[in-house]
Structure 1
Amino acid sequence: MTYVYPALLEAILDTAVDAIIVINEGGIIQTVNPATTKLFGYSDAELLGQNVNILMPAPYHQEHDGYLKNYRETGQAKIIGIGREVIGRRKDGSTFPMHLAVSEMDIGGSKMFAGIVRDISDLKQAQQLLTDINQQLEQRVQQRTIELRNAQAELLKAEKLATLGKVSGGIAHEIRNPLNALRTSTYYLQHAHQPTPEKLQEHLERIDRQVALINSVVTALSDIARLPEPERETCRLDQLIANVMPTVTMPANVTVINQVNAETAPVVSVDPDQLAIVLRNLIRNARDAMPEGGTLTLSAERTSGQVRVVVRDTGVGIAGEELRQIVEPLYSTKARGMGLGLAISKAILDKHHGRLEFNSEIGVGTTCEVHLPAAENLP
């Protein structure tokens, strides 16, 4: 196939998305493409024959002729064949960051220079936004680090040093994944060549989500360590359960059987807000154990100075090894679980001189028992 090369070159200039400016040795503009007039706001007639420094703000405007003179005399190129970030000036006087790549040509024995200009305002804005996010992340990490150190001190005072190794491993596991996602998005934003606004927004939102996830992990750990002493009240279990149930969303394929009624419900002396956390965690776990549907049964009774609350599901069940670890901080059988719900529940019951017990069978379901001392048997 034979091309008419002048026509082809003209078509390339006319359709190029980047601004293309050709100048002679003296810096006088010889030709520009439509992208140039669109970017800088000048017409062809206003640019042709003008010194190219018309497109530069101070101090580049004054220095450009000196660069050309120095190149003619010494042959030392500061930008030719290299490309760099500079500042451009539009006709209305506004400035913007741009990437400029310059190539040298020999046309009929005369040197000419072609500059390709790309507006990088969006990229610079994204980089600044990334810098701001990194600064905020650093501040939040510093703040959470202090809180985590305080939480660790509380753990030591409470003689929980034996579990610190497991907790540390769990923290590393829970935080490493979001940190990897942060690193990936940061690398993309730093190295992407003119990314689309949609891609910029996608990665910035991902960074924000991962920061929030790290924040939630550390906050939950701090909450465990700073759990206040319970403020006990005399409460009926049927009322406590009635208050908790509306706060847990139940799918249509899960049937709830609540056998705790006003006539038979034991009375306990507990902190109602703290015990509500325990009940809510157990009910949510039972619900989540039945993704294909099933039955959740609640019951309570008083036996031998103890009050026993039972939460039973007909879900997938828990294997023996996992059953022995489910109350450890940051251990979870759920794909997206943080592994803190049962750890918090155990910490609350410890302060109430109570305990958790679990029995489970794979494919049959799990029974969780909350044991609390009767009011008159409290120390």
Structure 2
Amino acid sequence: MQEQDQALLAALLQTAVDAIIVIDTRGIIQSVNPATTKLFAYTQADMIGENVKILMPSPYREEHDGYLRNYQNTGRAKIIGIGREVTGKRKDDTTFPMHLAVSEVPFGDKKLFAGIVRDISDLKSAQQQLSEVNDQLEQRVRDRTGELRATQAELLRAEKLATLGQVSGGIAHEIRNPLNAVRTSAYYLRNAKNLSLEKTREHLDRIDRQVSLIENVITALSDFVRLPEPRIARCNINDLVHQVLESVSVPENVKILNQVATEKPIAMVDPNQISIVLHNLIRNAGDAMPDGGTITLGSDVTREEIVIEVIDTGTGIKDEHLRRITEPLFSTKAQGMGLGLAVSAAILDKNQGHLEAQSQLGVGTTFAVHLPRKWRS
């Protein structure tokens, strides 16, 4: 049986893919298998009886004997029983990366060490190629990120210019008529002959009223720009809607139906700011029904949000106007500055919500106020 075991062991050593090197406590090579001769380009005769340092480049060869002495004196292993990556040296002095695993082998009254060596040149090459590909990819990502940022900056600039054009157009529309009235009265006061005190007072009052209108436009725009940050709190939507309905006013021929959910839905918003939004939407709905109609308040509760709907049976909004209703100073009303919906959209954005609108001419309009149930910090 022992002879069979020895024959099996010899066969394993002869056919092993990895190099196997056996040394004694002085580092002298006792045995090598054919894979070792192939890997290091030495013959068995070249290696057996030589110090294993011949297979190591500097500085490992100078340090090897110290490793063995340290282990024998202290019993503390630095490589024995632990696999590690080291560098090997062939007979022609070329080096290569290899993985080395060393184990202690009791052999009668001797102590031997067996090292199993695997050439990892292909693995290191693949890792290097992967690293280079990663570097190239990261550079491409950096380049593309720079391009995207430049494009984003250009789009932002274009968007700002477009917004500036819209706002300036709205300001011009709101201010031009009062300025024309002021100019007309000023011209009359400057050129009229035999001005009566009554006429003078009339035109001065007109100038004062028009200047007040212009001042109101500027104040409203300033308030819009300086919209404060929300004070987030748990808000019972039922209570909030009830409070809004108690304070909002609509024409006598307009009826309000409150069909908001009754399960006490809680949103994380600024109650004061959201009440402004609901006031604006309810008043707008009333203005959209000059001949009377019904405003219905409904709601829908999901895991992520609460949606409050303000539905009117008014004249509806044209598609081309519906796309612009939240633009500052855009309005379809004969009177009004067109800031109500712009302010509402801005408030909802600050409260991590948003506003949606659907409309059909001759049927009515639905505004949906989306409010978060959880605050995303």
**TM-score, normalization by structure 1:** 0.56
Residue by residue over 1:134-154, the C-alpha shift from the partner in whole angstroms, topping out at 9 and shown as x without a partner, is: xxxxxxxxxxxxxxxxxxxxx
Residue by residue over 1:104-147, the C-alpha shift from the partner in whole angstroms, topping out at 9 and shown as x without a partner, is: xxxxxxxxxxxxxxxxxxxxxxxxxxxxxxxxxxxxxxxxxxxx
Q: Is the 8 A contact 1:316 1:362 kept in 2?
A: yes
Q: Is the 8 A contact 1:265 1:300 kept in 2?
A: no
* Correspondence 1:38-53 to 2 at 5 A: none
Aligned to 2:201: 201
Aligned to 2:248: 248
Between the aligned partners of 2:160 and 2:302, the Cα distance in structure 1 is 31
Between the aligned partners of 1:227 and 1:370, the Cα distance in structure 2 is 19
Between the aligned partners of 1:265 and 1:366, the Cα distance in structure 2 is 26
Between the aligned partners of 2:306 and 2:276, the Cα distance in structure 1 is 17
Give the Å deviation of 1:237: 1.4
Q: Is the 8 A contact 2:295 2:312 kept in 1?
A: yes
Is the aligned partner of 1:303 residue 2:302? Answer: yes
Aligned to 1:277: 276
Between the aligned partners of 2:217 and 2:246, the Cα distance in structure 1 is 26
Aligned to 1:186: 186
What percentage of residue pairs aligned between the two structures are identical?
59
* Distance of aligned partners of 1:265 and 1:288 in 2 relative to their CA distance in 1, 3 Å threshold: farther
SS in 2 for 1:339: coil
Q: Is the 8 A contact 1:265 1:301 kept in 2?
A: no
Q: Is the 8 A contact 2:308 2:370 kept in 1?
A: yes
* Correspondence 1:143-154 to 2 at 5 A: none
Name the aligned partner's letter for residue 295 of structure 2: L
Report runs of 4+ in structure 1 exceeding 3 Å deviation.
159-162
Residue by residue over 1:52-94, the C-alpha shift from the partner in whole angstroms, topping out at 9 and shown as x without a partner, is: xxxxxxxxxxxxxxxxxxxxxxxxxxxxxxxxxxxxxxxxxxx
* Distance of aligned partners of 1:288 and 1:364 in 2 relative to their CA distance in 1, 3 Å threshold: same
Q: Is the 8 A contact 1:346 1:355 kept in 2?
A: yes
Q: Give the paired residue count.
A: 221
Give the Å deviation of 1:288: 0.1
Q: Is the 8 A contact 1:308 1:370 kept in 2?
A: yes
Structure 2 unaligned segments of length 5 or more: list them: 1-155
Aligned to 2:345: 346
Aligned to 2:376: 378
Aligned to 1:218: 218
* Distance of aligned partners of 1:295 and 1:207 in 2 relative to their CA distance in 1, 3 Å threshold: same
Is the aligned partner of 1:364 residue 2:363? Answer: yes
Name the aligned partner's letter for residue 347 of structure 1: A
Q: Is the 8 A contact 1:237 1:268 kept in 2?
A: yes
Residue by residue over 1:162-197, the C-alpha shift from the partner in whole angstroms, topping out at 9 and shown as x without a partner, is: 411211111111111111111111111222222333
Between the aligned partners of 1:275 and 1:177, the Cα distance in structure 2 is 33
Between the aligned partners of 2:242 and 2:206, the Cα distance in structure 1 is 38
Q: Is the 8 A contact 2:306 2:372 kept in 1?
A: yes
Give the CA RMSD over aligned residues: 1.9
* Correspondence 1:310-349 to 2 at 5 A: 310-349=309-348
Between the aligned partners of 2:303 and 2:363, the Cα distance in structure 1 is 29
Is the aligned partner of 1:170 residue 2:170? Answer: yes
Between the aligned partners of 2:233 and 2:328, the Cα distance in structure 1 is 28
Q: Is the 8 A contact 1:317 1:363 kept in 2?
A: yes
Aligned to 1:100: none
* Distance of aligned partners of 1:318 and 1:265 in 2 relative to their CA distance in 1, 3 Å threshold: farther
Name the aligned partner's letter for residue 269 of structure 2: V
* Distance of aligned partners of 1:257 and 1:200 in 2 relative to their CA distance in 1, 3 Å threshold: same
Q: Is the 8 A contact 1:326 1:342 kept in 2?
A: yes
Name the aligned partner's letter for residue 240 of structure 1: L
Q: Is the 8 A contact 1:230 1:351 kept in 2?
A: yes
Residue by residue over 1:297-343, the C-alpha shift from the partner in whole angstroms, topping out at 9 and shown as x without a partner, is: 11122124111010000001001000001110110010112111001
